[in-house]
Amino acid sequence: MDSQIIPETSTSVFITGATSAVGLALMRLLSAHGHHVAGAIASSADAAMIRSAGGTPAYPDLYRAGELRSAIQGTGSKIVVNLAPQVPNQAPQANAEWDERLNEAVEALINAAKDAGADYLIHTSYAFADAEADGETEAAFPLLKAARLAERTVLSSDLPSCVLRLGYVYGAESSALKSLMGSLREGKGFEPGSTHTANWIYAGDAAAAIYRAMLVRPTQVTLDIVDDQPVSPAAFLQEFANAQGLTAPVQPPRYMFRNPYTPLHVAMLKLDSPPVTNEAAKAALDWSPQYPTVQQGIDDLLVTWRASEVVTV
């Protein structure tokens, strides 16, 4: 692995997936350090969210290299952070639109970044990317295949790049957690998730790791950005419910669901992800999670919710 420490001077950064929990956390972090940030969004409805996080909204089609090149070049961005894969990467109990066209988008972004004069790319992937899909999780195979192919595309390009594999991302701005909170409070039935291993990362900790990667610039390497303690989706939901004095759901009969889960959603709920560690990331980036367990992270996000009156006590 090659790396170089870049002096912490103001630069311009282009972020896809800017409205994800980690995208918003990263924009705030970069803005606080004096960097100029542009965030790619799908519609003008998200523009206010981007501006409130200190970013400038941009509207490229993420599968069109020409539109991406214009957006990157127009903002003068030298660093590109691909957070689009993190938009669905939330607590798996909430349904998400996982993108099986990952590699197509990555190829467009790499070509656009090179043509626009960017000199570094950070691509974010998934800590579960090496999971094996079989039997009841077979529907996850296309997504896993796409994620691994996108990683290889990044690492084989001639643009200095790194791949950061994130655990399931949770944080105060996670739409999935807000939805789960509402369901728990209303006593709605939903699948609690499996007891298989899963890796997690608090949104602010993920943003801090990405920022360190911007400064250190490891190249052609893959690092796992996860907390110190893997827990199953079911255990995460139990902790989330306990912290609010609520009861986590048990497995309800399928007929209770108004909208049945998609096969991919069911597969993601049951996916057995191999445990990974953050030791390599700690060494390469000089980074450690501020919230090393989901219990600590959940406590912090609930404090944030209460402070902003998202949660009514």
Q: Minimum mean pLDDT among 85-89, 190-194, 229-233: which range?
A: 190-194
Q: Minimum mean pLDDT among 90-104, 158-172, 237-251: which range?
A: 237-251
pTM tops 0.85, yes or no? yes
Asked whether the CA dihedral 81, 166, 239, 252 is positive or negative, the reply is: positive
C-beta separation of 39 from 50 below 8 A: yes
pLDDT at 280: 98
Average pLDDT over residues 23-29: 97
**pLDDT of 103-160, one tens digit each?**
999 999 999 999 999 999 999 999 999 998 888 899 999 999 999 999 999 999 999 9
Which DSSP category does 137 fall into?
G
Alpha-carbon span 269 to 101, nearest angstrom: 21
Alpha-carbon span 227 to 148, nearest angstrom: 21
The two structure tokens encoding residue 240: 């989330």
C-beta separation of 248 from 237 below 8 A: yes
Angle between helices 102-115 and 65-74 (to 10 degrees): 40
CB count, 10 Å around CB of 168?
Answer: 25
HSE-CB for 293 with a 13 A CA cutoff: 6
CATH topology of domain 12-174+201-226+276-291: Rossmann fold (3.40.50)
pLDDT at 312: 44
pLDDT at 261 over 90: no
